Amino acid sequence: MVHYMLRHFVLGAAGDVDMETRQRLMVNSFLEDGEYGRLVFEWVLAQIYPKIEACLAAAEAAGDLVAMPASYRNRFWFAQHVAAMMAYVRLPGRSAVPYEGEVHDLIAEAAWFILRGFGLKEAVIAAHPAPPYSAVGAPGPCGAVLIDLPVHGDA
């Protein structure tokens, strides 16, 4: 699911006018009263977070997570921040951050970084490589169907 979250944020913004507009609204919301951001994050917490929480709980039950002091919810938000920021710096059309490598490689590196931040053990990450880019719509981790995630207000 992490790979798909990153793809949704980072690749969904390139050429997707609606996604780019929503990302610009989010950034502008942070500069103003934050209300749009709060509404989106409330939706994300209700619709997306439970899926990640279930995956983290399953990984913990399987012994695939290392103990850490951060709550599942905070780990989720930290992961979201990485994905969102990677997208926001691309809004000008050319990345404002001088990353090394191609975008697909950056997504893979960011996914590894996030999964380690979730607390997943290195062996578990290595045993589950990034899904192919054509797998959207296929069954994914924890029984979730991998979709292009909607944002607040979408059906």
pLDDT tens, per residue, the chain with 155 residues: 898 889 888 888 455 668 889 999 999 999 999 999 999 999 999 999 999 999 999 999 999 999 999 999 999 999 999 999 999 999 998 999 999 999 999 999 999 999 999 999 999 999 988 887 654 444 455 544 443 333 333 33
pLDDT of residue 151: 35
Match 């296929």 to its residue by tokens. Answer: 138
Q: What SS3 class is residue 154?
A: coil
Q: Are 134 and 128 in contact (CB under 8 A)?
A: no
Helices (H) and strands (E) in the chain, counts: 8, 0
Question: Which pTM does this prediction carry?
Answer: 0.81
The structure tokens listed for 59 are 């990984």
For residue 139, the cross-strand partners are 145
Q: Smallest Cα–Cα separation from 11: which of 123, 86, 117, 120?
A: 86
Cβ contact 137:145 at 8 Å: yes
How far is C-alpha 84 from the chain's CA centre? 7
Q: CA 14 to CA 51: how far, in whole Å? A: 26
pLDDT of residue 12: 80
pLDDT of 148 reads 39
pLDDT of 134 reads 55
Q: Given this model, what pLDDT does residue 142 score?
A: 53
Q: Look at residue 15 in the predicted model and tell me its pLDDT.
A: 56
